[in-house]
Structure 1
Amino acid sequence: MTETILAAGPTIRLAAFLGVLATMALWEVTAPRRQRDIPRVIRWTNNIALVVLDTVILRTMFPILAVGLAVMSEERGWGFFNNIDVPASVSIVVSMVMLDLAIYLQHVMFHAVPGLWRLHRMHHADLDFDATTGLRFHPVEILISMGIKLAVVAALGPPAVAVLLFEVILNATALFNHANINLSRPVDRVLRLFVVTPDMHRVHHSVDPRETNSNYGFNLPWWDRLLGTYVAQPAKGHEKMNIGIEQFHTRRDLWLDRMLIQPLRGPPSGHALDSHSTAKEQK
């Protein structure tokens, strides 16, 4: 079973990724939520080039990724679930929920620590909001995120199938909740009880620091509500809210070379503990 998961994992992830991306792109064309301001050719080519670069660097730097480590942990008895006797269904469900909580906490940390915010703000600096925004992460952030994920997998000892399912679902929901798609308001209200919706996550991409530092969930919406980081709607409404980071608001900032050096440019303003942003918000 574990050998099958290892062998089929990359194919399953790639097929799911391409299928969801194509579905979201078609949905964005037929029923967009917001008017597009930047030509797709500029944003899509650079965002997709970035994810290709991220993938190459990740595969080069890490000889083993999360699913492989889960298999190794099971073989060697590492981690919590490999040392207790519980039904497989329980360990799978609990592992997926705990991995999602770890991603939420990691996201909060990347907003709270100025050095990490320098890396993560590149994700926020996209001037439009669509499915490819969910792919836009700095390579150094990707490496740090994978290191954190591997540490969680080693400590938790989740079944390999739980890690594979979690990664497929997380990638799919990241594309979904960044998509520029128009869900009816009643559907959105119900759906966001179970999964992060585009309207919920779009608030997180506002230039308003109060909204930027809210709605950290990528998959499950419960952590924001439970831990006090939930903002239901943007102050200016979804059609009029400004997307991005104020200090990187030119089309030239959307190019791959500028994205890669962005952590070195300007002050790390706008992070969750930035007193200047808080004072500006309260005026």
Structure 2
Amino acid sequence: MTLDTWVGLIVLAILFLLEGRRPFDTGRRHRLRHGARNLSLALVSGLVGAAMTPLLVLSMTVADGHGWGLRHWLGLEGWPGIVTVLVLFDLWMYLWHRANHRVAWLWRLHRVHHTDTAMDTTTALRFHPGEILLSSLANGAVLAMLGMTLHAFVVYKAVMVAVILFHHSNVSVPTRLDRIFGVLLVPPSMHRVHHSEQRNETDSNYGTIFSVWDRVFRSFRSRADQHAIRFGIGQFGDDGWQRPLRLFLLPLVSDHSIQTEAQR
């Protein structure tokens, strides 16, 4: 297994235990069933991601071998080059995430992640396989254009997995610690707003690792009454839609059809 997989498994286990001992939302029920459903979908998406890994490795290897990419063109070697491409790749992740909310056909896939009405650390892995496929294809091109090295990308993925598992978690984090964490990285309080069923809040706080992008591009939103946030998108939230097969088929369902069904 790769470094990011090991980091993900360890952090996931720790956070899941903490969610049971120190939960932010104390009214959660059926945690095991909820987690099993999310992880079932994550397993399929993970297989798609694993199948796309050789493409990502190839794009970085070819670009590095030919001296392609921003890092080479600017003559950035060593740590300055690595840090630069890591920061720029996280900027790309912000832009890609924002596009998944703005472009209708991308949102059809991405909303599978947002229909979770009980966000916890397993939600961080709840993505449709189609979204993983498209993001892998896009990432391959961006990695080559940046001149990302394989080792740097492995480090980025390990940090990314740890951060997104944390900011999706249902762990009660002291306010002061959350604020300190949020100076540089995306904290749980910031990402809870992103998972609000209110669309103006869903369309905010797109950061993956670094919280600065939302402030720079004016997509940052905060909310003091964190316990009042209702997760989801206002539809597809009933138990039937939370089953892995229904989630897999969800991109094929239009908002209009579900509204028509509800009116019957």
TM-score of the aligned structures, taking structure 2 as reference length:
0.92
Structure 1: which amino acid aligns with 2:79? S
Please list every run of 5 or more consecutive structure 1 residues that lacks an aligned counterpart in the other structure. Answer: 1-9, 270-283
Aligned partners of 2:124 and 2:168 also within 8 Å: yes
Structure 1 residue 119 displacement after superposition: 0.7
Question: Are residues 12 and 154 of structure 1, via their aligned partners in 2, closer, same or farther at CA, if it must alter by over 3 Å?
Answer: same
Match of 1:222 in 2: 212
The reply on whether 1:239 has 2:227 as its aligned counterpart is yes
Aligned partners of 2:185 and 2:211 also within 8 Å: yes
Structure 1 residue 233 displacement after superposition: 1.3
Aligned partners of 2:163 and 2:209 also within 8 Å: yes
User: Which residue, out of 233, 245, 265, partners 2:253?
Assistant: 265
Structure 1 residue 212 displacement after superposition: 0.6
Match of 1:23 in 2: 14
Partner Cα distance (1:23, 1:268) in 2: 41
Partner Cα distance (2:169, 2:14) in 1: 10
Aligned partners of 1:114 and 1:268 also within 8 Å: no
SS of equivalent residue, structure 2 residue 68: coil
> How big is each residue's C-alpha offset from its partner over 1:212-238, in whole Å with a ceiling of 9 and x where there is no partner?
11101121000001100001116xx22
User: Which residue, out of 147, 158, 162, partners 1:172?
Assistant: 162
Match of 1:154 in 2: 144
Aligned partners of 2:4 and 2:155 also within 8 Å: no
Structure 1 residue 12 displacement after superposition: 1.4
The within-5 A match list for 1:134-213 is: 134-213=124-203
Instruction: Tell me the number of residue pairs that the alignment of Structure 1 and Structure 2 aligns.
Output: 257
Structure 1 residue 36 displacement after superposition: 4.1
Q: Which moved more, 1:218-227 or 1:241-250?
A: 241-250
Aligned partners of 2:199 and 2:233 also within 8 Å: no
Structure 1 residue 264 displacement after superposition: 1.5
Structure 1 residue 66 displacement after superposition: 3.0
Structure 1 residue 69 displacement after superposition: 3.0
Aligned partners of 2:8 and 2:162 also within 8 Å: yes
Aligned partners of 1:34 and 1:238 also within 8 Å: no
> How big is each residue's C-alpha offset from its partner over 1:193-227, in whole Å with a ceiling of 9 and x where there is no partner?
11101111010000111111110112100000110
Partner Cα distance (1:268, 1:238) in 2: 31
Match of 1:255 in 2: 243
Match of 1:129 in 2: 119
Aligned partners of 1:118 and 1:268 also within 8 Å: no
Structure 2: which amino acid aligns with 1:261? L
Please list every run of 5 or more consecutive structure 2 residues that lacks an aligned counterpart in the other structure. Answer: 258-264
Q: Which moved more, 1:87-96 or 1:65-74?
A: 65-74
Partner Cα distance (2:215, 2:250) in 1: 32
Match of 1:53 in 2: 44
Question: Are residues 117 and 219 of structure 1, via their aligned partners in 2, closer, same or farther at CA, if it must alter by over 3 Å?
Answer: same
Partner Cα distance (1:186, 1:97) in 2: 26
Structure 1 residue 68 displacement after superposition: 4.7
Partner Cα distance (2:27, 2:45) in 1: 26
Structure 1 residue 35 displacement after superposition: 2.5
Match of 2:95 in 1: 105
Partner Cα distance (1:112, 1:38) in 2: 33
SS of equivalent residue, structure 2 residue 33: helix
Normalized per residue, which structure has more helix? 2
Q: Which moved more, 1:64-73 or 1:190-199?
A: 64-73
Structure 1 residue 167 displacement after superposition: 0.9
